[in-house]
Amino acid sequence: MNVKQVLTLFTAVVLSIASEAVFANPEAPGMYDARNMGMGGAGLAYLDSPAAVIHNPANLAATENSQHQFNLSLLAVKLGGSFAGPDHYQESDWLAIPLPFWGYNTRVTDYMTTGASVYLAVGFGGGYSDVSRYGTGKSCTSKLSDVVLTPPGGGLVINGDAQNNDLCLSSGRDEVVNLAVFELAFPFSFQVTNDLQVGLAIRFPFGIFEQQTSEDITGALGDSNNPAGSFGLGYMQVESEMFGYGSKPGFLLGFTYDVTSYLSVAATYRTKLTTTFKGDTKVLLNSNILLDPALGTLGGVTIGNEIAGLVNSVPGIGTLLNVQGNETIGGFANRLTTEIDSGLEWSTSKAIEFGIALQVTPNLLFAADWKHQYLKDSNKDFIVELYEPLFQQTGLDSLGQELNWKDVYSWSFGLEYEMNGGQRVRFGYSIGNSATPPEYANAFTPPPANEQDAFYFGYGVTQGEWEFDVGFSYAKVVYEIDQPFNSDGEPVDPPTCRPGQLVKSGCPGTLSVKSLFLGLSANYRL
């Protein structure tokens, strides 16, 4: 394998793994405030706790003095999918993701309220343990002798029937992707008239991205439009760790208008906000069943001055490789494949939202919100930049992966009934479409169902200046990607899921996700 192929391989691996990580779930309704969660995320026209900084900052203008709010929502997710065709469905472990929120606001004049908040804006994660098979459901390659045969007459022969084999391991691996984007927000809310409030929240993002996944890396070396199987020998595991922030702030603009004493309407506009991540990527050479024994045998061999001089004389990249004669083959390989300076971008989409709040009776509140997330505009593709001079010199400093996300449209409905003693019970329902097109779905994505709905329940009580709330939600979605057949009725691989393909998506089989939300809020009103 020449140097350019090595660089192509490593760059494409980074791209493919990072691309999988951005297939995040649509934003969960109500995950920043337990009262709002109990009502299905419908709160645009009434929610006036500090969490309004995320929903509609205009409502903070109704604050008489000051508020301190602490909220912790726990999201538990269980994914289901396959790394090796429809007959090898497996579920992930339950992954618990804390979604913290802290907010403060205070009235500074008779007409203006301001404050600050910190919260987890996007929390996406998934993890599978003991994954022992990778591919498209073909025969197994578990050892080199499955590919290289020794015929009775002597010599070595490549088993051509094994070209499209899966990789089957005796010991399973962990496959994990985690992406978290936090935001620091500063709201400014104004009481324009007795009936009209307007608000603006300025948002600053910072985030963390980590992954540990396996890919068929030989897909980086061939024709992506006509991939060739790697005999099950091309799989390698990659680890990345990156941190990021936004170079420009985002904004959330909202207004609330009291049509009557019992009916309020509201609307918000959120700008697109991009977080730029930078960090390192490491390719685990010993995770490949072909390279592991080779490095075990030759890794300690010294390269030598003659070979080092020959490699360093290659125009353009020789000086960047800077091979040392006293360097071992294993040391040189590890130097190329560790601490690869890399970066990626994640964008929180532009969104518009409309809502109403109707006080049906003195004790019964009804709320409804409609939201449009412009994911098609913000997530058309995903670009990984490699900043190492070696990658830039070879023209491999920027690679992209097409995503083709769809816009998400969602409805949220909620009821709140106030009982004696400052107690309130709540019921909610939300429904929306998935952002993931079927042809780009995989074991880490939410299923590409046309409709995904959830039910919510909540309870709250007021004790003096304190308001305590709890919210709960459960949702389950299952989606089946059908197996395509040719004109003779034989099963065929879809164009996005073939042996030798670096990123496999849209593979036939079952995809599922189960999610549980538990929200706890404490709000202190002075």
How many Cα atoms occupy the beta-carbon half-sphere of 477 within 13 Å? 22
The H or E element spanning position 184 is: strand 166-191
Show the low-confidence residues of the chain (pLDDT under 70): 1-31, 123-125, 219-222, 316, 380-384, 386, 390-402
∠306-311-314 over CA atoms, to 5°?
Answer: 130
**pLDDT for position 304:** 82
Alpha helices in 207-290 (DSSP H): none
Q: What percent of the chain lies above the pLDDT cut of 70?
A: 88
**pLDDT for position 176:** 85
- The count of other CB atoms within 10 Å of the CB of residue 127 is 17
Residue 65 tokens, joined: 């003095």
In 437-491, DSSP assigns E strands to: 452-463, 466-481
**pLDDT for position 373:** 92
Distance in angstroms (rounded) separating the CA atoms of residues 221 and 390 = 18
∠317-322-327 over CA atoms, to 5°?
Answer: 140
**pLDDT for position 6:** 40
Residue 110 tokens, joined: 């008779």
Grouping H, G, I as helix, E, B as strand and the rest as coil, residue 366 is strand
For the chain, what's the residue count?
A: 526
Grouping H, G, I as helix, E, B as strand and the rest as coil, residue 215 is strand
The H or E element spanning position 9 is: helix 3-21
**pLDDT for position 350:** 94
Distance in angstroms (rounded) separating the CA atoms of residues 293 and 244 = 37
Q: What is the DSSP letter of 19?
A: H
What digits encode the pLDDT tens for the residues 128-165?
999 999 999 999 999 888 988 888 877 778 888 999 99
- C-alpha R_g of the chain: 27
**pLDDT for position 20:** 32
Distance in angstroms (rounded) separating the CA atoms of residues 26 and 205 = 18
The alpha carbon dihedral of 117, 118, 124, 127 has a sign of negative
Q: Which domains does the chain have, with CATH numbers?
A: 3-125+174-230+247-276+348-525 (2.40.160.60)
